[in-house]
A and B are shown apart, each in its own frame.
Chain A
Amino acid sequence: MNMFPGSFDSAPNIANWFTINKDGTVRMVSGKVEIGQGINTAFVQIAAEELDIDPDRIEISAGNTKDGLDGGCTAGSQSMQTEGISVRKAASAARMLMLSKASELLQSDVRELNVIDGEIYLNDNSTNLSYWSIAKDIDFNQPVEIYMQPKLPSQRKLAGKSIKRIDLKNKILGTHEFVHDIELDGMLHARVVRPPSVSSRIIKIDIDKINTLKNLKKLVVNGSFIAVIAEREEDAVKLVQQVNKYCKWSTPDKIIEDPLQFIRDTKSPIINSLDKGKIDVLRSDGVSTEVSRKFLCHASIGPCCAVAQWKGNTLEVYTHSQAVFAMKRTLASIFNIDESDVDVMHKHGSGCYGHNGADDVVLDAVLVAKELNGTPVRLVWSREDELSWSPLAPGMVTKIDANLADNLMIESFDISIKSPPHVKRPSGENGEYLLAAEHMSNPLNPPNPVDTPLDKGGAADRNSMPLYDIPNIRIQKQIVYDLPWRTSAMRGLGAFVNVYAIETLMDDIASIQEIDPIEFRLKHLSDPRIIELIERVRDISKWTDRSSGLPKGFAFSRYKNSGAYCAMVVEINVDEDIELINAWAVIDAGEVVNADGVKNQIEGGIIQATSCTLIEEVNFDGEIISATDWENYPIIKFKQTPQIQVELIDRPEEPFLGVGEAAHGPTAAAISNALFTAMNIRIKQLPITRERIISSLNT
Chain B
Amino acid sequence: MANKYSLTVNGQKHEIESDPDTPLLYILRNDLKLKGTKFGCGGGVCGACTVIMDGLAIFSCDTPIWSIDDKKIETIEGISQDGIHPLQELLIDEQAGQCGYCLSGIIMKVKAITDDDPTKSVDDIANELDRNLCRCGSQLRILNAVKKYLDGKSSR
Contact = CB atoms under 8 A, between A and B. Distances in A.
A600 B97 CA distance: 8
A611 B139 CA distance: 12
Given A172-B88, A174-B75, A175-B36, A301 B134 contact: yes
Nearest to A181: B35
A177 B101 contact: no
A638 B126 contact: yes
A339 to B, nearest CB: 29
Interface stretch (A13-21, A229-237, A279-287): A229-237
- Which residue among B80, B88, B138 has the maximum number of chain A CB atoms within 10 Å of its CB? B138
A299 interface: yes
Contacts of B26: 232-234
Given A164-B92, A643-B140, A299 B98 contact: no
Interface string B89-113: 0011001111111111001000000
Contacts of B100: 36, 167-168, 171-172, 176, 348
A608 B46 contact: no
Given A174-B75, A608-B136, A351 B98 contact: yes
- Which residue among A168, A172, A302, A630 has the maximum number of chain B CB atoms within 10 Å of its CB? A172
B30 to A, nearest CB: 6
B22 interface: yes
A38 B133 CA distance: 20
Contacts of A232: 22, 26, 30
A350 B105 CA distance: 13
A611 B129 CA distance: 16
B95 A351 contact: no
Interface string A619-649: 0000000000111000111110111100000
A351 B98 CA distance: 7
A637 B98 contact: no
A303 B39 contact: yes
Given A174-B104, A234-B22, A607-B139, A383 B42 contact: yes
Interface string A398-436: 000000000000000000000000000000000000000
Looking at chain A's contact residues, the main secondary structure is loop
B91 A301 contact: no
A600 B135 contact: no
A606 interface: yes
Interface string A233-250: 110010000000000000
Interface in B51-109: 75-77, 80, 84, 88, 91-92, 95-104, 107
A180 B39 contact: yes
B23 A180 contact: no
Interface in B118-156: 123, 125-127, 129-130, 132-143
Contacts of A608: 135-137
Contacts of B132: 638
A165 interface: yes
Interface residues of A, number: 61
Given A173-B84, A232-B30, A635-B133, A607 B140 contact: yes
Contacts of A596: 95
B80 A234 contact: no
Contacts of B103: 171-172, 174
A353 B135 CA distance: 9
A118 interface: no
B9 interface: no
A675 interface: no
Contact of A164 (B45, B95, B123, B129): B95
Interface string A147-188: 000000000000000101101110111111110110100000
Interface of B: 19, 22-23, 26, 29-30, 33, 35-43, 45-46, 48, 75-77, 80, 84, 88, 91-92, 95-104, 107, 123, 125-127, 129-130, 132-143
Given A172-B97, A604-B138, 4 more contacts: A162-B95, A168-B100, A181-B29, A301-B38
21 contacts: A36-B98, A165-B97, A171-B99, A172-B103, A173-B80, A232-B30, A233-B26, A234-B23, A301-B102, A303-B39, A348-B99, A348-B100, A350-B101, A350-B135, A351-B99, A383-B41, A601-B98, A638-B125, A639-B127, A639-B129, A639-B130
Interface of A: 35-38, 162, 164-165, 167-169, 171-178, 180-181, 183, 232-234, 237, 299-303, 348-353, 380, 382-383, 596, 600-601, 603-608, 611, 629-631, 635-639, 641-644
8 tightest A-B CB contacts, nearest first: A174-B36, A171-B100, A607-B137, A351-B99, A36-B99, A174-B76, A604-B137, A36-B98
